[in-house]
Amino acid sequence: MLSSIVGPPTASLASKQYVTKLTGYARFPASTPTMSDFRAVPTPADAQPDAYPHIYVKDTDAELPSFQTVGFGRYSSFQPLASGGSAQLRTCRDKTLGRTVVMKTLHPHLANNAYMQSRFLREARVTAQLQHPVTVPVYDLGRDTEDRLYFTMKKVEGETVRGIIERQAKGDEQALAHFGLERMLGVLVQVCNGLAYAHAHGVVHRDVKPENILVGAFGEAVLLDWGVAKVWADEESEQDARIMEHQILTDVNQRPGTPLYMSPEQVRGGSDQIDARTDVYSAGAVLYEVLTLTEPLRGKQVHETFQKIINEMPAPPRERAPNRQIPAALADIALKAMAKQPGDRFQTIDEMIEAIRSFRGRALESAE
């Protein structure tokens, strides 16, 4: 259980040794690194768990008082960016710091929807509290002059993994050349490292999919949309957390596109069964699609997709895409991550990272 591996935010000797180990490998020695050096680069599993304070519902879902508009006046020059079912994205100018940021604002018709407000606040606060390279820095949270919730964040540039896969599936030579398998594995490892960091804080993303992974110009990855993340309750807020969980599960089951990457336990709707291995499943589904350029399981309707997720394994990647020259080891990693029973998957996202890293190490050895 995640709660058993997360303690108070104290910096132990093991944590300091982990940081020393990590920074020591941030710059390679003068000599050429050996394969043992390559494998020794640490993962979050090397760190002492007590370095990661637990994030609770009371930290993410607390209401924001109405007409708290003090900070809104610092923003100007609004330009529309995108609009979804629950919120609008705009770029704007932060006059205080002289920079362009992105503002996400809850739609007016949701102003009295307590669940959607809680979900919006959770996304802002979880993203802000998970200070990791794969999360977008959040700068501000408040209400605008019309009393609508908003938060501002860093403007990030890039292309989603969904866009990359779609271009590759169409035979786009630039996409195939620029986003080769090694680079896409690097992106996935970055995302998995971010998930490991979140899991150490007691947070499960629950919506890992190609649409929510952004790839920057230099190969950096960003994991978006923490609005349906699962956070655990302390004793005081346990009842409110269970109500929120029920509403989130109902909402997720109806979201178009998302079911393709849901784990069997998500489809069944059992909140108590959802833990870090749920994200392992979704990461495996993303890896499957990166390898094959096709979705693992899809029915003609959402209900049929759910039945496939519960009852069927996807076709082996090398059979699904025989012309893609998919390494057998990577195909096995994807299928293990997508096992129907959580106990048959990688038990932590770190185990999946290590499996991918071992494959990359063997590939490097064979290329020498």
The residues annotated with a catalytic role in the active site are: 207
Tokens 């529309």 correspond to 80
CA gap 262, 276 in Å, rounded: 13
Residue with tokens 């995108």: 82
Angle between helix axes 181-200 and 161-169 (nearest 10 degrees) is 150
Q: Reduced to 3 states, what is the DSSP secondary structure of residue 179?
A: coil
Q: Which two three-digit tokens encode residue 155?
A: 């403007």
Strand locations in the chain, DSSP E?
Answer: 75-83, 87-94, 99-106, 138-143, 149-154, 159-160, 203-204, 213-215, 221-223, 230-231
CA separation, residue 343 to residues 96, 281, 323, 336 (Å): 51, 11, 32, 10
State whether the Cα torsion 340-341-342-344 is positive or negative. Answer: negative
List strands edge to edge, sheet with 213-215: 159-160, 213-215, 221-223
Q: How far is CA 238 from CA 201, 202, 234, 242, 244, in A?
A: 18, 15, 6, 6, 10
Asked if 100 and 93 touch (Cβ cutoff 8 Å), the reply is yes
Length of the chain: 368
Closest CA to 5 of 230, 200, 204, 231: 200
Burial (0-12, 13-18, 19+ Cβ within 10 Å), 199: buried
